[in-house]
Amino acid sequence: MNIDVDKLLSSLTQQTRTLFSSLDVTQPLMVGIRTGGIWIAEHLHQTLSLTKPLGVLDISFYRDDFSRLGLNPEVKPSSIPLDITDEHIILVDDVLHTGRTIRAAMNELFDYGRPASVTLVVLIDRNGRELPIDAKVVGKKIDLDPQQHVKLSGPKPLKLEIITSNIDTNND
Partner 1 sequence: MQHFLTTESLSKDQLTNILDTAESFINIDGRTVKKVPLLRGKTIVNLFFEASTRTRSTFELAAKRLSADILNMNINASATVKGESLLDTLRNLEAMDVDMFIVRHQDSGAAEFLSRHISPQISIINAGDGRHAHPTQAMLDMYTIRKEKGAFENLKIAIVGDLLHSRVARSQIHALRSLGAKEIRVVAPRTLLPARIDGLGVKVFHQIETGLKDVDVVIMLRLQKERMLGALLPSEHEYFYLFGLTQERLALAADDAIVMHPGPINRGVEISSEVADGNQSVILDQVSYGIAVRMAIMSMLAGNPS
Contact footprint for partner 1 (CB under 8 A): 60-62, 66-71, 73-77, 107, 111-113
Shorter beta-carbon distance to partner 1: residue 7 or 110: 110
Distance CA 139, CA 26 (A): 22
Which amino acid is it at 140? Answer: K
For residue 1, how many other CB atoms are within 10 A of its CB? Answer: 9
**76 or 159: whose CB is closer to partner 1?**
76
Give the shortest CB-51-to-partner 1 separation in angstroms.
Answer: 23
Close Cβ partners of 125 (under 8 Å, ≥ 6 residues apart): 96, 135, 138, 139, 140, 141, 142
Least Cβ distance, residue 144 to partner 1 (angstroms): 27
In the complex, minimum distance from the CB of residue 35 to partner 1, in angstroms, rounded to a whole number: 15
Task: Considering the complex, state which of residue 71 and residue 163 has its C-beta at the smaller distance from partner 1.
Answer: 71
Q: Is the peptide bond before 146 cis (omega within 30 degrees of 0)?
A: no
User: Taking a C-beta distance cutoff of 8 angstroms, is the pair 98, 130 a contact?
Assistant: yes
CB of 68 to partner 1, least distance (A): 6
Query: Which is closer to partner 1, CB of 67 or CB of 164?
Result: 67
